[in-house]
Amino acid sequence: MRFVCRCGNMLTNQLDPNDTEYYVYSDREWSEFEKKGWIYFLDVPDPKYDVWRCEKCDRIYLFKENKVECNPKHLWKISS
Ligand SMILES: [Zn+2]
């Protein structure tokens, strides 16, 4: 998948590994994994949310569960 950040940087997860896509789980989800004894990484399911970070501007995009759709659900930009 490719996505153009608002800063103009092209984001993609086509390279593996990459520094764009993050695997994020809630604390509750992670606790459930621990209860089930999932310690091998292949046993851990894909996260509910697809989170991408632009390396150039630090914007964080949160995509719907359907990774094919390129419309982010939410966008964060830290202002300083
Ligand atoms: Zn950007």
pLDDT digit string (tens) for 8-30?
999 998 998 999 999 888 899 88
pLDDT of residue 70: 58
Residue entry with tokens 């459930």: 32
Distance from Cα 60 to the centre of ligand 1, integer Å: 9
pLDDT of residue 7: 93
pTM over 0.75: no
Distance from Cα 29 to the centre of ligand 1, integer Å: 29
pLDDT tens figures, 31-78: 888 888 766 766 777 888 888 999 999 898 888 765 545 566 666 676
pLDDT of residue 67: 56
Cα(41)–Cα(25) distance, rounded to whole angstroms? 13
Please give the distance of CA 11 from its chain centroid, rounded to a whole number: 12
Question: What residues contact 26, with CB distance under 8 A and at least 6 apart?
Answer: none
Taking ligand 1, which is a single-atom ion, which protein residues have CB atoms under 5 Å away? 5, 7, 9, 54, 56-57, 59
11 - beta bridge partners? 3
Greatest CA separation for the chain: 42
